[in-house]
Chains A and B, each alone.
Chain A
Amino acid sequence: MIELTPQPATRETVLSVRDLHVTYTVASGQVPAVRGVSFDLQRGDSLGLAGESGCGKSTLVNAILRLLPPRTEVKGQVLIEGEDVLTMKPGRLRAVRWTKGAIVFQGALHALNPVQRIGAQIVEPILLHKTEATEAAANKRVADLLEQVGIPAGRAREYPHQLSGGQRQRVLIAMALACDPTILVADEPTTALDLMVQAQVLWLLERLRAERGLTMVFITHDLSVLTYVCDRLGIMYGGRMIEQGPSDVVFEDPQHPYTRALAAAFPTIGDQSSRMKPAGLAGDPPDPSQLPPGCSFRPRCPVAIPACAEIDPPLYDAGPHRKAACILVARR
């Protein structure tokens, strides 16, 4: 559930983001990249974040593990199992980054060291965080992890260039799982992969979530991929969460006009209304340093009314477990 309201104690909240603001400092001034985002995730939940380049989704997940450049202003709270990541001491943060929250980046080729065997790269965090007592036990764990992600353990001695793109992405997943984290953050983990390999990786992530009760935050710009993997969706625009709810209903029946445009961009094969009619959205994503007054989507919005220029809408209730930041939703 990504509701702010407290949940019954039967399910444990493992990640809680509260009114998070992230502002970058650049030569030309301050750039607000995330402007007040809140959500809660219980163990085993998967949240998909979608939105265009510059909407703040990568900044948001990087803020969760405090992977932001120095001199970035961060306000609000990020609680992992009740502990605030934003105020942690560096030593504690280093431990939390592998054992509580781990991240799988996109571009598997660049995230791996080209001159180190893959086994040695996976064993490093295990030894560093003393997850396994002996080196032999740690090596056994590497073998298990590789098998879990579908790579024969014997290939631990190979270098990244000897693996295919899909296998390298699996190695990154194995590495992220090395210290048995509670939360797995995946930033566009399948973007550079072929269709069938993408399906293999998504299926793997889904299986790992089911087996280990992993809590996942999944980013992509492909809404249809998210619906497939995540039970909850959060749509971001101009640094805000503008719609959230169960993924199938958000995709099938979007409430915010931006989500509607995004959903229409991914046609359902067989749906005659999209045959030979690609749907797009005129205009460009807003420049975070020059956000328009009122609703930041207004300049591109097909249903905007004069009041939209004055109110920057918060998330309004939009049905069971759903919210949308649009004054037309509030007025219904």
Chain B
Amino acid sequence: MKSPLVEIEDLRVEFGSARAVDGASLRVFEGEVLALVGESGSGKTTLIRAIQGLQPMTSGAVRLEGQTATARHRDTVQMVFQDPTGALNPRRTIYEIVAEGLRIARFAGDEEAKVREALGMAGLRPVERFLPRYPHEISGGQRQRVVIAGAMVTSPRLLLADEPVASLDASIRGEILALLRNLVDTTGLAVLVVTHDLGLAWNIADRVAVMYLGRIVETGMTEELLAHPQHPYTKALLSVVPETRQMEQQILAGEIPDPRKIPKGCRFHPRCPVMRSGEAARLGIDERCKSDDPAIIAADTIRGAACHAVELQIRGLRSGV
């Protein structure tokens, strides 16, 4: 694989007694789409802010191209938000909206040429038709393309996309995802896409990382992870996705716990189907699940799950049992 663009090592971010990110390690490589999957309260947003250099860290490290991430990296890292209508200033023309990033970055070259290039890359052609328009004069799908053009205008290395198609109509969803994938394939851009949509991951992501209560609990190549999930949380998530209807549903009770009260032992054990079904007791690991926190998945891991049951299984395979 190519060199890592982003390296996160054992990141911890605390807000008072709340541990929003609680030991997360992750790498993002150039030319890949990484889907970060998790529910509200899993720490995805805090992790993204840390990559932008906007989030004071309690401990750990976030490096961009080998250097500590700071807000000064805003040309390297750009953000695509969920709701394009809210992200665009209604009183500016498309030209001004897209040029803004260049002005903030004090770009000294030909501004108009850059803006035209970015709109073309985002598939807004003919470019002249869009330059003088206002956001309300174009469709929702075109607005999201403007947001992407505004992000691409500074030639970033990494796009952080927070649910980029969740607020878009179904037929437009595919077009925007195809655009993101195409930008990655043609420019070597990296995209970290935060989503709870596993179908999106199947559509465009090379790798998937699953986050639960401040930590990455499973990571792997998309096809491998979605076809053979290891962590009981990933398995449960996949079972409730309407796109995988053949699996038996495992609807977890309750909601993600309060980050001020992260359960002792494995953070997932109070909701874990392996615990609840008595499987953990049968394997003789239930006490471990309740008292020992599974090891953090190292940043350079290609395939892994933070789960005592998975660890036991792998050890069994290695020793030939």
> CB within 8 Å of B: which residues of A?
52-53, 164-166, 194-200, 203, 221-225, 227-228, 261-262, 264-270, 274-282, 284-285, 300
CB of A328, distance to nearest CB on chain B (Å): 19
Q: Does B100 contact A (CB under 8 A)?
A: no
Q: Does B106 contact A (CB under 8 A)?
A: no
Interface residue ranges of B225-271 to A (CB < 8 Å): 226-227, 236-238, 240-245, 249, 251-252, 255-256
CB of B90, distance to nearest CB on chain A (Å): 18
Q: Contact: A265 with B170, CB < 8 Å? A: yes
**A228-B242, A279-B174 known; A164 and B203 CB under 8 Å?**
no
Q: Contact: B171 with A280, CB < 8 Å? A: yes
> CB within 8 Å of A: which residues of B?
39-40, 139-142, 169-178, 181, 196, 198-199, 202-204, 223, 226-227, 236-238, 240-245, 249, 251-252, 255-256
Chain B's closest residue to A165 (CB) is B40
Q: Contact: B203 with A224, CB < 8 Å? A: no
Choose among B140, B223, B242 the residue that contacts A225 (Cβ–Cβ < 8 A).
B242
Top-6 shortest CB links A-B: A280-B174, A280-B175, A224-B242, A278-B177, A199-B240, A281-B171
Q: Contact: A269 with B241, CB < 8 Å? A: yes
Q: Contact: B244 with A53, CB < 8 Å? A: no
Q: Contact: A270 with B255, CB < 8 Å? A: no
Chain A's closest residue to B247 (CB) is A269
Q: Which residues of A contact B223 (CB under 8 A)?
A: 275
A selection of 14 A-B contacts at a CB cut-off of 8 Å is: A194-B39, A196-B240, A196-B251, A199-B249, A224-B199, A228-B245, A266-B242, A270-B202, A274-B202, A275-B223, A278-B181, A278-B204, A280-B173, A280-B174
How far, in whole Å, are A274 and B241 apart by their CA atoms in the complex? 16
Q: Contact: B169 with A285, CB < 8 Å? A: yes
CB of A84, distance to nearest CB on chain B (Å): 33
CB of B127, distance to nearest CB on chain A (Å): 18
CB of A324, distance to nearest CB on chain B (Å): 17
Q: Contact: A194 with B170, CB < 8 Å? A: no
Chain A's closest residue to B222 (CB) is A275
Chain B's closest residue to A282 (CB) is B175
Q: Which residues of A contact B240 (CB under 8 A)?
A: 195-196, 198-199
How far, in whole Å, are A284 and B177 apart by their CA atoms in the complex? 16
Q: Which residues of B contact A266 (CB under 8 A)?
A: 170, 199, 242-243
Q: Contact: B243 with A269, CB < 8 Å? A: yes
**A196-B236, A199-B240, A269-B241 known; A261 and B204 CB under 8 Å?**
no
Chain A's closest residue to B249 (CB) is A199
Q: Contact: A224 with B39, CB < 8 Å? A: no
How far, in whole Å, are A53 and B141 apart by their CA atoms in the complex? 12
CB of A248, distance to nearest CB on chain B (Å): 9
Q: Contact: A276 with B204, CB < 8 Å? A: yes
What 17 new A-B contacts, CB under 8 Å, besides A166-B255, A195-B241, A278-B203? Answer: A53-B140, A53-B169, A196-B237, A196-B252, A199-B249, A224-B242, A224-B243, A225-B242, A227-B245, A266-B243, A267-B199, A274-B202, A278-B177, A278-B178, A279-B174, A280-B172, A281-B172
Chain A's closest residue to B173 (CB) is A265
CB of B181, distance to nearest CB on chain A (Å): 7
**A203-B251, A224-B242, A285-B169 known; A264 and B237 CB under 8 Å?**
no
Q: Which residues of B contact A228 (CB under 8 A)?
A: 242, 245
Q: Which residues of A contact B176 (CB under 8 A)?
A: 280
Q: Which residues of A contact B249 (CB under 8 A)?
A: 199, 203
How far, in whole Å, are A88 and B61 apart by their CA atoms in the complex? 66
Q: Which residues of B contact A224 (CB under 8 A)?
A: 199, 242-243
**A165-B40, A268-B244 known; A52 and B202 CB under 8 Å?**
no
CB of B174, distance to nearest CB on chain A (Å): 3
How far, in whole Å, are A223 and B170 apart by their CA atoms in the complex? 9
For B170, B203, B243, B252, which residue has the most chain A Cβ atoms within 10 angstroms?
B170
How far, in whole Å, are A274 and B172 apart by their CA atoms in the complex? 16
Q: Which residues of A contact B139 (CB under 8 A)?
A: 284
Q: Contact: B242 with A227, CB < 8 Å? A: yes
Chain A's closest residue to B226 (CB) is A269
Q: Contact: A267 with B170, CB < 8 Å? A: no
Q: Which residues of B contact A227 (CB under 8 A)?
A: 242, 245
Q: Which residues of B contact A265 (CB under 8 A)?
A: 170-171, 173-174
CB of A282, distance to nearest CB on chain B (Å): 7
Q: Which residues of B contact A275 (CB under 8 A)?
A: 202-203, 223
CB of B228, distance to nearest CB on chain A (Å): 11
Q: Contact: A195 with B243, CB < 8 Å? A: no
How far, in whole Å, are A114 and B181 apart by their CA atoms in the complex? 42
